[in-house]
Amino acid sequence: SAQKETLGFQTEVKQLLKLMIHSLYSNKEIFLRELISNASDAADKLRFEGLAKPELFENDPELKIRIAFDKDARTVTIADNGIGMSRDEVVSHIGTIAKSGTKSFFEQLSGDEKKDAHLIGQFGVGFYSAFIVADKVTLTTRRAGEAEAVRWESQGEGEYTLESVEKAERGTEIVLHLKEGEDELLNDWKLKGIVRKYSDHISIPIEMKKGSGYGEDGEVVVSDELEAVNSASALWTRSKSDITEEQYQEFYKHVAHDFTDPLAWSHARVEGRQEYTELLYIPSRAPFDLYDRERKQGVKLYVRRVFIMEDTEKLMPHYLRFVRGVIDSNDLPLNVSREILQESKDIDAIRAGCVKKVLGLLEDLSSNQPEKYEAFWKEFGQVLKEGVGEDHANKERIAKLLRFVSTTSEGVEPTVSLADYIGRMKEGQDKIYFITADTLAAAKNSPHLEVFKKKGVEVLLLVDRVDEWVTGSLFEFDGKALQSVAKGALDLGALEDEADKEAQKQVEEASKPVVEKVQKALGEQVKEVRATARLTESPACLVAGEHDMSAHLERMLKAAGQ
């Protein structure tokens, strides 16, 4: 064979490998799920590229995955006839981490194995999980339609070798040379069990040699005949009653490249003007790149079982960018491209339907599983809030899902909904009062709250960056106006009684000379100086004009250099 090259792993890969092997060891079986998941993705990619270039199938159109083991050589082999990789692809995909958020991921690692295992799970270890059980991995691959094959080999310790080889079949073959002590994997029953447990949902057959009886040692004797170990039908096409909770969860890990179980999901076949199946998941944790414009993951679009693309823009609105899963259309053309997707009215209809499903799922959580909803809100609340400004059609529904901290909250967790607030409104109160500030402490100590405290009126404390956008787009809820307590003359309406009015009159009269002096001293710096009977502790406070920017927003814009 041609000359062997030795290359070094990216520093992060070395670090990741070391950590992963330690922290995921107790869950080591997942290496098989990861390698099968990659093989399945490779089949999806070939099917898609094959739409335009059928010659890529090379007279071998039955896509499948094969798993075998060799007791004497102490190896486990996972092979697929998917798209394969060119030499450049091997170098860039296996040996480097091109993921966005890599840096912040490494910064978050604590050295505490339990905590780090969680983080690593979120980050996704994929291919490298092979090194949990193997001390040498040999990957041989030939990209569909190309002549040259390449062999990558590594002991997972900082470098790998690359060489050109011959490979008749298209696709990728991965040989795991097992570590000392991993011999239990050299067992037909054990491997088939792992495949069924983690990879049953894979839509192409995962084949292994068929058992033909038991030997004298009690072990399965295999024949040369192959059988599919999994159900080999796309999970979302099966009926809900045939899918177990675990299967839904494992499928999520495959589509989302996540290690943690999802929080909730919605699975439905939709009929009508557009026929499609959706299986959409809410993750239990926010991904690293939630705020990264370059993020690559989103919802996968299939057309009649053929994977078309993973989309981050068109299938889900920006404020639901955390949603993962599959949409499989029966009506779209197979040659749908990104450009067509942008323009398509059919896609608009599918998207609108899927948004309703997701909002419905969240509503269901919020009313029936409040703890889960709280967990959701913690991870994704800030993002969902963007929807109030972004999605006019669903503004009301989103507003119902919002949660805030208020002056009645015991702790710092946002648990107050607008409906809760309205339910607690005082006699004569007709507005939803809120205050915006940089921190909870600043909000709670604001002099603007004094009169509300005195009257026992609840005020929402809005301290998130996105809240300015929320209050700038949501003017009322359930017929009640949202009113900043820091703006304008603040008409308290029926909350104010005769005594209040009398007190105000007196203060105004008594303070006339002072007010005039202060007005003179401040001159152009203020619009107006007013006396008020509402402050109970503070001598003075700043108020924004009814139609001006709030002081908080002004500070935020200044900080942003605007």
| Rounded least distance, CB 35 to ligand ADP, Å | 7
| Rounded least distance, CB 328 to Mg ion, Å | 21
Is residue 82 at the binding interface for Mg ion, with CB under 5 A as the rule? no
- Nearest CB to Mg ion, comparing residues 36 and 402: 36
Task: Look up tokens 């999994």; give the residue.
Answer: 230
- Nearest CB to Mg ion, comparing residues 141 and 446: 141
User: Which residues, 183 to 202, sit near Mg ion by CB under 5 A?
Assistant: none
Long-range contacts of 426-430 (CB under 8 A, 24+ apart): 426/455, 426/456, 426/457, 426/495, 427/494, 428/493, 428/494, 428/495, 429/457, 429/493, 429/494, 429/495, 430/480, 430/481, 430/493, 430/494
| Rounded least distance, CB 255 to ligand ADP, Å | 11
Name 454's Cβ contacts closer than 8 Å, sequence gap at least 6: 534, 536
Residue nearest Mg ion, CB atom distance: 126
Neighbours of 538 (CB within 10 A): 13
- Nearest CB to ligand ADP, comparing residues 19 and 543: 19
| Rounded least distance, CB 474 to ligand ADP, Å | 38
Q: What's the CA gap between 406 and 461, in Å, rounded?
A: 5
Question: Per-residue contact track with Mg ion, 484 to 523, x per CB under 5 A?
Answer: ----------------------------------------
| Rounded least distance, CB 40 to Mg ion, Å | 9
User: Which residues, 19 to 38, sit near Mg ion by CB under 5 A?
Assistant: 37-38
- Nearest CB to ligand ADP, comparing residues 292 and 528: 292
Partner that binds at residue 122, options Mg ion, ligand ADP, none, CB closer than 5 to 8 Å by kind: none
Partner that binds at residue 150, options ligand ADP, Mg ion, none, CB closer than 5 to 8 Å by kind: none
> What tokens appear for 297 in the block?
């993951």
Contact 30, 197 (CB under 8 A): no
Q: What's the CA gap between 19 and 102, in Å, rounded?
A: 14
Contact 132, 24 (CB under 8 A): yes
**Phi, psi angle pair for 203, to nearest 5°:** -80, -15
Q: Closest Cα partner for 180 from 218, 222, 134?
A: 134
DSSP of 327-373: EEESSS-TT--HHHHHH-HHHHHHHHHHHHHHHHHHHHHHHH-HHHH
- Nearest CB to ligand ADP, comparing residues 66 and 267: 66
Partner that binds at residue 93, options Mg ion, ligand ADP, none, CB closer than 5 to 8 Å by kind: ligand ADP
Instruction: State the first-to-last Cα distance of the chain, in angstroms, to the nearest integer.
Output: 62
- Nearest CB to ligand ADP, comparing residues 82 and 262: 82
- Nearest CB to ligand ADP, comparing residues 38 and 407: 38
Q: What's the CA gap between 216 and 223, in Å, rounded?
A: 16
- Nearest CB to ligand ADP, comparing residues 259 and 377: 259
- Nearest CB to ligand ADP, comparing residues 36 and 388: 36
User: Which residues, 114 to 143, sit near Mg ion by CB under 5 A?
Assistant: 126
The CA-CA-CA angle for residues 240, 37, 260, to 5°, reads 70
Q: How many residues bind Mg ion (CB under 5 A)?
A: 3
- Nearest CB to ligand ADP, comparing residues 203 and 366: 203
Partner that binds at residue 250, options Mg ion, ligand ADP, none, CB closer than 5 to 8 Å by kind: none
Partner that binds at residue 102, options ligand ADP, Mg ion, none, CB closer than 5 to 8 Å by kind: none
Which residues are registered as beta bridge partners of 77? 68, 175
| Rounded least distance, CB 257 to ligand ADP, Å | 4
| Rounded least distance, CB 98 to ligand ADP, Å | 9
Q: Helix or strand or coil: residue 416?
A: strand
Which residues are registered as beta bridge partners of 482? 432
Dihedral of the alpha carbons of 44, 47, 49, 54, in degrees to the nearest 10: 160
| Rounded least distance, CB 132 to ligand ADP, Å | 13
Task: Look up tokens 């197979």; give the residue.
Answer: 334
| Rounded least distance, CB 399 to ligand ADP, Å | 36
The binding site for ligand ADP (CB under 6 A) comprises: 34, 38-39, 42, 80, 82-85, 93-94, 124, 126-127, 172, 257
**Phi, psi angle pair for 301, to nearest 5°:** -100, 125
| Rounded least distance, CB 458 to ligand ADP, Å | 46
- Nearest CB to ligand ADP, comparing residues 187 and 249: 249
Partner that binds at residue 80, options ligand ADP, Mg ion, none, CB closer than 5 to 8 Å by kind: ligand ADP
> What tokens appear for 384 in the block?
């969902």
| Rounded least distance, CB 75 to ligand ADP, Å | 17
Strand (E) or helix (H) holding 22: helix 11-23
Contact residues toward Mg ion (CB under 5 A) are 37-38, 126
